[in-house]
Each structure stands twice: as structure tokens, then as C-alpha cells.
């Protein structure tokens, strides 16, 4: 299967074909035949010179002839195809149908195997796999391999999960979704053969959908309004599509059904009954897929290429979208292949292909909480698509950008970030050419309105990918107010003779640092009381090193000297790290370091972000200081700028990754301790010395906060003491993490409450742009870090998100709880 399944590391090391050839070199005739059979099976349906039907007929005969010799291999292969190539479901089900017609026992064995595969997927929480296998089993009903009655029974017992008590909703949701997603394939057949049991299933589904809570929807939707397109939760959407499908007598126009051609052969076959399948019970380790809101951006009125976009509630829309997503999943590591496969979509003549592709890719890009793939993956695929579809794709992308811009007021801030990022990146690959003038309407709007904000942030990001002067060139002159500031340092001590309190110290430090003085020397200078130019000691005489003026003078002066590039700044920080650490010993010291860095570099958001990242890595400042600084009064004017969110985000992520790493290392160490204990226990009777010597010394890594694991050579085995130390380290880190979240959430609550109260007293509407932005960011903290935040929900509930809080703020917390309930 290595040809189809992307075993990427395998590919990288040996090249895609090498493994395949390696087997061939084995040389025996039966190996050759096996390989040929495998190749035939994998590629069935891809031969364009003959029809699928004749392909299948031929292949079925070949396999049938060889079944005796290769039965196990063929069975395994066919199950793998069913699991890994869901887009070819009906091709393989037909093949199985033909084989079953020729050989009833083989059919029975296949059914056993596919059922086992289904059960395994359920047990392993491989939900998507389970869903496509279930659908395949359903399709086997169409091919007369499985009896309709036993499949209906299976669907019934799966739907029984929706009646379970005390289990997470997401569990019930999944089982419902899995059953529903079989219906486009097998609905018709069940309707014809088993109408009333089918009706009962549909009723069960409807009852479940009506009573399930949908609190989470508001947190997951990208568009806050249903105008012009309703944003439906995924189960609701599919149900509407199923209802319409039923209304259309279960006929649809997308799914290819090669088995229809073979009906005369297949209907002679004997069917098998499925063994009873019981859904594995829920237990705490089970993780179910998170719900999502279906992303809708286009309808038939948007399409100008002559095709009809299937309606939002047509099953065709669902099928096309799912298929396109499967193509992307398959070629997600090769952007050229991905683009080619998308443009070769088998139904490209039935739908407006570029529009469908663009909507699917944006839905993946905007997916909450996190896109499945890197944003740059989508961006680069769009570039490849633009090369393949030179006449249409660029136009559709431009139209998309216009549509998104026009609706940007109702776009969630999470998606806003990604839209900004994508657009700036896309422009950078196309000479920044864009008809900005069409957006001149944004200039007259409140600067906090999403439209001018979007343009400002795009220009900021575009500047980072190019340079400042270029931005002036690419926009019309009246866009000047939206241009970013010229990114250069603002050194307050630039004037040697100024009367600033830190001026004399700065002058001293400037000379010393330029003359290559040592960090120790600098620390000594900083311990002296501050002096003015004429040598007078400033009162009160402070020999403390964390005096804010001293900190400010040092930080700004050093970083100004090193302002030429990132490398210069990093080198300076590294060289003088002992000074920084001394200054940052207190919380106030750390806050001042941040303030001073900001004062110097406020015009260069990128440099500021990168410096703060470096300071976190080198542990000059703690995550909590960054959080406190972001929410401080000084930073209020900056709060709604995207880079602030980037800084907060990277800070929380660093903390989370640190905790994850320590957890992993602790588990590894514990495991090692367990196995060495087992070994030494079992060697009680033998020569203990030899046993111990045979156990290889293992390399453990100890983590620095910066992100690397530093390998630590362990001569002895892991000791209890080491594990204890790791446990302590982890506990401390978790305490820090909890503290960080508490600070962040508390600060959000404070600023939002203040705003709500103030608007209430002033009798103003509270729904300002600032408010919407800030609530969006609060939601984003929950969503982006939900796995980590989960751990602390009860503390959050007890301490912060209490009943007395304003309902608007409390609502966000409840939406978060609803996500996993």
C-alpha cells in the first residue's frame, strides 16, 4: 500500500518507488504476481482508456482465478483500499460484489474482515476511518454482499448511542453523523427494501437532533450573522441535506455506481448477514471529534462561470465538499499534486470547480479551533492552482477576497487573523498587485472598524514580507493613514545632553558597551546611584539594580546599539544575559524590561515580537510578566493590534509546550524506571551484575524553556530520585501555567466588565468594535488552548467565571464548556 498511502519518512529516505522495487528484487515469481495484483487493485478505475466497468470485470476474473493462492493477501488489500481510498468506495464495493457473486465464502470472509476493521477503528478512536468503513459496509448492501435488514439493524444499534445517558454529547453526535453519512450511498436501497425500519431510523435521528444542545455553535461559527448564508452546525446541515435527499426519493447525481451495470450478476449473489456489532462503551480516555460549523461563502448567485453551484441543502454540495476534502487529505504533503488532483476532480464538469475548491480550502483554513494543516500549505496550494487554472482561479480568488472584505464586519477575529495573513502572503507572490482604490470606502470609517483595520494589518504583514518604502508604492496616496509606521528604533536617549533622569547613565553605558566592556562591569555600574550630567547624585540615592530608570537606560541603550538586525539584537542579549537576569529578578524589573523594549521598538512590531520571544526563551522574563504587560494601562492603545495577540499567543503556547515536554519526559522516565525495576526483579536468581550491565544506558533529555531538549547522558538507569525531581519540575510548571491562564482570563474579565459597566452608566450601546474584538479574543484563548484550559475549568468556574459575572462574559465560558460536553 506504500504507493498510495503517503509514508512520508519512507518516501524521503528512499524515494517513493524504492520500497516497491526492493520487494521486486526479491525475485520469486509469486512475488511478482502479488505485486502485479496489488498494482492492478490499487489502480483500478484510473485507466481512462477503458471503462470502470470493464476494468472491474477483468480484475474480478483475475482475482477470482488467483484467490486460492493469494486469498489472505487479497482480503487484506481490499480492506485497506476500503479504508484508505474512500473516494473509490463504490469501485471497491462493486469489486467485492463481483467476487462474492463468484465465490460466496470469499464474500463472507471479506465481510468478517471489514467488520473487524470497523470495530478496531471504533476502539482506537479512529473516527474518520470508522465512518468511511461503515459507509463501505452500507455500499456492500447495494452490491448484494450484505443484507439490507442486517445493515439496518447495525444502524439501529449505532443510533442507540444517542439514547445513552451520562456520556459526552460529542460521542452521541459522532454515531449520529456516521449513520447519516451512509445514507447518500445506501438510502435508496434501504428505502426500496426496508422502508419502515428506515423511517424509524430517521425518526430516531430527528428526535436526537431536536433535543441536543447547541450552545457551542456561537463559539465555532466564523460569520456572526446568517446573512446572506445561514451558518449551520454540521449535523444540522447534513440533516437538512438528508431530508431533501429523501424528498427527492433518495436520488442524487454525484456518486458513481458501477454496480448498477452488473445488477444482473449481483442480484444472483447470496447475501451475508452482519454479525452483531456493539458500539464500544464510553470511557474517560475516549476523545471524540469536535463539532464544527459548516463554512458557507458562496451560493449560485456568486458563480459566473456557467456552472450551477449546488444548493446549501442539496446532498450534492455535501458529497462534492467531502470528496474535495479527501483529495486534499491525500495529497497534503505535495502542493503540486494536490492542485493537480483538485483540478482533475472527477465531477468538475458538474459543478463550478474553482468556486467549490476555494470554498473548501477557506473552510479548512478558517476551521476552529485550529486548521488541519499549516496556513502556508493552503496558501501555496492556491498559488499552484493559479498556475494550473490561469484564466479562472485568480479571478475567483479576487472575487473571494472582495466577498470576504465586504462581509468582514461579521467575521470572527480568529478568521480575520488568518485572512490577513493569507492575503498579504498571496500578494507577496503576485507583486502586491491589487485594486486598493476599490476599498477607498474604508478610509471614512472609524479606524477600529474591521475594514480599515484589515487594510492596515494587511499592509503591516505585507511590509514584513517586503519593505516599508514598497508599501507606499503599492497603495494610492489617500491610503496613507493606513500605512504602517516606518519600522525604526526610537531611542529616547539619543540626545546626549537631554535632561532625562537616565541620560547620563545611558551615555556612560553607550561608551562602555561600544568599548566591549564585560557584563560584570555593567552590573557594577548599575549598582551605583543614578547621576546627572554634572556628577550630582539624584535623590533618593538608589543602589538597587532594578530601579526603573536604570533598567530603562540599560535596555534601551543596549538594544539601540544592537538595532541593526535580529542577529545583532540576539547577540547582545546573549552577551549581556547576566545583566538582564539580574534586572529581571523582580516582577517590576521584568515589567520595566518589557516597557523599555516597547518604548524603543514600538514602530517595529516584528522586532518587538521577536525580542519578547527571545527573552522568554532565555528566561529573562516570565510568561506572566508578558501577560500583565499586555493588559497594562500603557498598552491600551496597542491592544487591538494583531501583533499584540501574536505575542500573547506565543507566550501561552510556550508555556503549554513546556508543560507538554516535561509531561512526556516524566512519562518516559517513569516507564524506564518500571522496566528496569522489572528487569532487576526478574534477575534475582541470575547474575545481577551482568544483567544490569546489559541494560544500555539511556539518553534522557532535560528540557530548557527555550525549546530544545538537551541530551543528558545517563550512565545508570533512571532512579526514583530523578523521577521525583522531574515530578517536582512538572508540578512547578503546571502551577505556572495555571497562574498564567488565571491572569489572562482575569484581565479579560476586568476590562470587559469595566467596559460594560461604563456603557451602562453612560447609557451607550456596549456593542462597540473594541468590545466585539475583545470578546472574540477571549473566545479565541478558550478555543486555541482548549486542551490545556480544560485542566483548570473547575478552578476557572469557582474563582473567575462565577454567577455574578455579566451574562455576556459568562456566556463565553459556557460556550467553552459546551464544546466537550
Q: Is 644 in the site for another protein (CB under 8 A)?
A: no
- Closer Cβ to another protein, 611 or 644, answer by number: 611
Q: Which stretch binds another protein (CB under 8 A): 68-76, 602-610, 735-743, 794-802?
A: 602-610
- Closer Cβ to another protein, 335 or 777, answer by number: 335
Residues between 359 and 378 with contacts to another protein, criterion CB under 8 A? 374-377
Beta pairing partners, 411: 223
Q: Which of 4, 13, 50, 578 binds another protein (CB under 8 A)?
A: 13
- Closer Cβ to another protein, 340 or 739, answer by number: 340
- Closer Cβ to another protein, 583 or 611, answer by number: 611
Q: Which stretch binds another protein (CB under 8 A): 332-340, 586-594, 693-701, 719-727?
A: 332-340
Q: Which of 288, 425, 439, 741 binds another protein (CB under 8 A)?
A: 425
Residue 610 CB, shortest distance to another protein, in Å, is: 7
- Closer Cβ to another protein, 148 or 573, answer by number: 573
Cα separation, 329 vs 340, in Å, equals: 14
Residue 331 CB, shortest distance to another protein, in Å, is: 10
DSSP 337-398: HHHHHHHT-TTTTTTTHHHHHHHHHHHHHT-SS--SS-HHHHHHHHHHHHHHSTTTHHHHHH
Beta pairing partners, 701: 711
Residues between 15 and 54 with contacts to another protein, criterion CB under 8 A? 15
Q: Which of 2, 3, 7, 11 binds another protein (CB under 8 A)?
A: 11
Cα separation, 298 vs 302, in Å, equals: 6
Nearest in space to 620 (alpha carbons), one of 612, 628, 629: 612
Nearest in space to 496 (alpha carbons), one of 442, 435, 557: 557
Q: Is 606 in the site for another protein (CB under 8 A)?
A: yes
Q: Is 386 in the site for another protein (CB under 8 A)?
A: no
Residues between 681 and 740 with contacts to another protein, criterion CB under 8 A? 707-708
Residue 707 CB, shortest distance to another protein, in Å, is: 5
Q: How many residues bind another protein (CB under 8 A)?
A: 37
Nearest in space to 479 (alpha carbons), one of 497, 454, 496, 513: 454
Residue 263 CB, shortest distance to another protein, in Å, is: 43
Residue 695 φ then ψ, to 5°:
-75, 120
Residue 606 CB, shortest distance to another protein, in Å, is: 6
- Closer Cβ to another protein, 565 or 667, answer by number: 565
Residues between 755 and 814 with contacts to another protein, criterion CB under 8 A? none
Could you count the other beta carbons within 10 Å of the beta carbon of residue 596?
A: 24
Residue 12 CB, shortest distance to another protein, in Å, is: 5
For residue 717, how many C-alpha atoms fall within 13 Å in the half-sphere facing its CB? 18
Q: Is 383 in the site for another protein (CB under 8 A)?
A: yes
**99 touches 108 (CB < 8 A):** no
Cα separation, 765 vs 154, in Å, equals: 54
Could you count the other beta carbons within 10 Å of the beta carbon of residue 664?
A: 14
All three cell numbers of 312: 446549501
Cα separation, 626 vs 613, in Å, equals: 10
Q: Could you give the residue ranges of the DSSP H alpha helices within 15-124?
A: 18-25, 29-43, 52-84, 89-102, 104-123
- Closer Cβ to another protein, 66 or 375, answer by number: 375
Residue 268 CB, shortest distance to another protein, in Å, is: 48
Residue 466 CB, shortest distance to another protein, in Å, is: 7
Q: Is 411 helix (H, G, I), strand (E, B) or coil?
A: strand
Q: Among all chains, which residue has been given the C-alpha cell 538608589?
A: 542
Residues between 392 and 421 with contacts to another protein, criterion CB under 8 A? none
Residues 6+ apart with CB under 8 A from 470: 432, 463
Q: Which of 192, 308, 524, 566 binds another protein (CB under 8 A)?
A: 566
Cα separation, 280 vs 525, in Å, equals: 69
Q: Which of 22, 36, 43, 333 binds another protein (CB under 8 A)?
A: 333
Q: Which of 126, 153, 466, 768 binds another protein (CB under 8 A)?
A: 466
Cα separation, 650 vs 79, in Å, equals: 43
Q: Is 626 in the site for another protein (CB under 8 A)?
A: no
Q: Is 431 in the site for another protein (CB under 8 A)?
A: yes
**136 touches 154 (CB < 8 A):** no
Could you count the other beta carbons within 10 Å of the beta carbon of residue 675?
A: 14
DSSP 741-753: HHHHHHHHHHHHH
All three cell numbers of 192: 426500496
Q: Is 467 in the site for another protein (CB under 8 A)?
A: yes
Q: Which of 308, 346, 398, 465 binds another protein (CB under 8 A)?
A: 465
**Binding track over 188-227 against another protein, x by CB under 8 A:** ----------------------------------------
Q: Which residues bind another protein (CB under 8 A)?
A: 8, 11-13, 15, 333-336, 374-377, 379-380, 383, 425, 428-429, 431, 461, 464-467, 469-470, 473, 565-567, 570, 606-607, 610, 707-708
Amino acid at each position: 500500500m506504500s504507493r498510495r498511502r503517503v509514508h512520508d519518512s519512507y518516501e524521503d529516505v528512499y524515494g517513493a518507488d524504492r520500497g516497491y522495487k526492493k520487494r521486486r528484487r526479491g525475485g520469486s515469481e509469486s512475488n511478482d504476481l502479488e505485486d502485479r495484483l496489488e498494482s492492478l487493485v490499487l489502480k483500478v478505475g484510473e485507466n481512462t482508456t477503458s471503462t470502470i466497468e470493464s476494468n472491474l470485470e477483468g480484475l474480478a476474473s483475475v482475482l477470482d482465478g488467483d484467490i486460492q493462492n493469494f486469498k489472505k493477501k487479497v482480503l487484506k488489500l481490499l480492506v485497506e483500499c476500503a479504508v484508505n481510498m474512500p473516494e473509490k468506495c463504490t469501485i471497491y464495493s462493486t469489486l467485492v460484489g463481483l467476487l462474492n457473486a463468484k465465490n460466496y465464502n470469499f464474500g463472507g470472509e471479506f465481510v468478517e474482515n471489514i467488520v473487524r476493521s470497523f470495530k478496531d477503528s471504533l476502539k482506537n478512536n479512529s473516527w474518520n476511518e470508522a465512518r468511511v468503513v461503515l459507509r463501505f459496509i452500507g455500499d456492500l448492501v447495494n452490491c448484494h454482499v450484505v443484507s439490507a435488514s442486517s445493515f439496518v439493524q447495525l444502524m439501529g444499534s449505532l443510533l442507540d448511542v444517542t439514547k445513552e445517558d451520562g456520556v459526552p454529547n460529542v460521542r452521541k453526535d459522532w454515531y449520529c453523523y456516521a449513520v447519516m453519512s451512509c445514507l447518500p450511498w445506501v438510502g435508496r436501497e434501504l428505502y426500496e427494501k426496508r422502508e419502515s425500519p428506515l423511517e424509524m431510523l430517521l425518526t430516531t435521528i430527528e428526535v436526537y437532533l431536536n433535543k441536543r444542545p447547541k450552545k457551542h455553535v456561537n463559539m465555532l461559527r466564523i460569520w456572526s450573522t446568517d446573512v446572506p448564508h445561514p451558518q449551520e452546525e454540521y449535523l444540522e446541515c447534513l440533516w437538512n441535506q438528508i431530508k431533501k435527499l429523501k424528498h427527492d426519493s433518495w436520488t442524487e447525481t454525484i456518486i458513481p455506481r458501477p454496480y448498477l451495470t452488473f445488477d444482473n450478476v449481483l442480484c444472483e449473489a447470496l447475501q451475508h448477514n452482519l454479525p452483531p456489532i456493539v458500539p464500544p462503551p464510553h470511557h474517560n480516555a475516549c476523545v471524540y471529534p469536535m463539532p464544527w460549523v459548516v463554512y458557507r461563502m458562496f451560493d449560485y448567485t456568486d458563480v459566473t462561470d456557467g456552472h450551477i453551484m449546488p444548493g446549501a441543502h442539496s446532498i450534492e454540495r455535501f458529497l462534492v465538499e467531502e470528496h474535495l476534502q479527501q483529495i486534499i487529505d491525500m495529497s497534503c504533503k505535495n502542493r503540486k499534486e494536490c492542485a493537480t488532483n483538485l483540478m482533475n476532480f472527477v465531477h468538475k464538469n458538474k459543478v463550478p470547480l474553482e468556486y467549490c475548491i476555494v470554498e473548501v480550502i477557506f473552510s479548512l483554513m478558517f476551521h476552529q479551533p485550529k486548521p488541519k494543516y499549516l496556513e502556508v500549505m493552503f496558501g501555496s496550494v492556491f498559488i499552484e492552482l493559479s498556475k494550473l487554472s490561469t484564466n479562472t482561479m485568480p479571478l475567483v480568488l479576487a472575487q473571494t477576497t472582495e466577498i470576504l472584505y465586504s462581509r468582514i464586519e461579521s467575521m470572527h477575529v480568529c478568521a480575520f487573523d488568518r485572512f490577513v495573513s493569507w492575503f498579504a502572503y498571496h500578494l507577496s507572490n503576485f507583486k502586491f498587485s491589487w485594486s486598493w482604490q476599490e476599498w477607498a470606502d474604508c478610509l471614512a470609517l472609524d479606524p477600529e472598524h474591521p475594514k480599515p483595520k484589515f487594510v492596515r494589518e494587511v499592509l503591516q504583514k505585507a511590509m514584513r514580507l517586503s519593505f516599508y518604502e514598497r508599501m507606499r508604492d503599492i497603495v494610492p496616496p489617500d491610503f496613507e493613514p493606513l500605512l504602517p509606521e516606518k519600522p525604526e528604533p526610537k531611542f529616547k536617549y539619543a540626545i546626549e545632553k537631554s535632561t532625562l533622569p537616565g541620560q547620563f547613565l545611558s551615555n556612560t553605558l553607550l561608551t562602555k558597551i561600544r568599548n566591549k566592556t564585560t557584563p560584570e562591569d555593567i552590573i557594577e555600574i548599575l549598582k551605583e546611584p543614578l547621576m546627572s550630567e554634572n556628577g550630582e547624585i539624584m535623590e533618593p540615592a538608589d543602589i538597587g539594580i532594578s530601579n526603573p530608570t536604570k533598567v530603562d537606560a540599560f535596555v534601551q541603550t543596549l538594544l539601540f546599539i544592537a538595532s541593526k538586525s535580529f542577529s545583532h539584537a540576539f547577540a547582545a542579549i546573549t552577551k549581556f544575559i547576566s545583566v538582564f537576569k539580574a534586572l529581571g529578578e523582580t516582577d517590576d524589573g521584568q515589567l520595566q524590561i518589557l516597557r523599555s523594549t516597547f518604548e524603543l521598538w514600538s514602530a517595529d512590531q516584528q522586532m518587538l515580537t521577536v525580542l519578547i520571544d527571545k527573552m522568554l526563551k532565555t528566561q529573562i522574563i516570565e510568561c506572566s510578566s508578558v501577560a500583565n504587560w499586555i493588559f497594562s494601562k500603557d498598552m491600551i492603545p496597542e491592544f487591538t493590534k494583531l501583533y499584540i495577540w501574536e505575542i500573547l499567543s506565543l507566550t501561552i503556547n510556550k508555556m503549554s509546550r513546556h508543560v507538554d515536554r516535561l509531561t512526556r519526559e516524566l512519562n518516559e522516565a517513569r516507564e524506564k524506571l518500571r522496566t528496569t525495576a522489572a528487569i532487576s526483579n526478574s534477575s534475582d536468581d541470575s547474575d545481577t551484575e551482568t544483567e544490569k550491565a546489559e541494560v544500555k544506558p539511556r539518553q534522557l533529555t532535560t528540557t530548557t524553556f527555550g525549546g530544545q531538549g538537551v541530551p543528558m547522558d545517563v550512565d545508570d538507569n533512571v532512579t526514583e530520585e530523578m523521577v521525583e525531581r522531574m515530578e517536582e519540575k512538572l508540578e512547578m510548571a503546571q502551577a505556572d501555567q495555571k497562574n498564567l491562564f488565571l491572569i489572562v482570563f482575569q484581565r479579560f474579565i476586568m476590562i470587559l466588565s469595566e467596559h460594560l459597566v461604563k456603557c451602562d452608566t453612560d447609557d451607550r450601546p456596549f456593542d462597540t468594535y473594541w468590545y466585539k474584538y475583545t470578546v472574540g479574543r477571549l473566545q479565541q484563548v478558550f478555543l486555541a488552548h482548549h486542551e490545556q484550559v480544560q485542566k483548570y475549568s473547575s478552578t476557572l468556574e469557582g474563582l473567575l467565571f462565577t454567577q455574578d459575572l455579566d451574562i455576556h462574559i459568562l456566556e463565553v465560558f459556557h460556550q467553552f464548556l459546551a464544546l466537550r460536553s
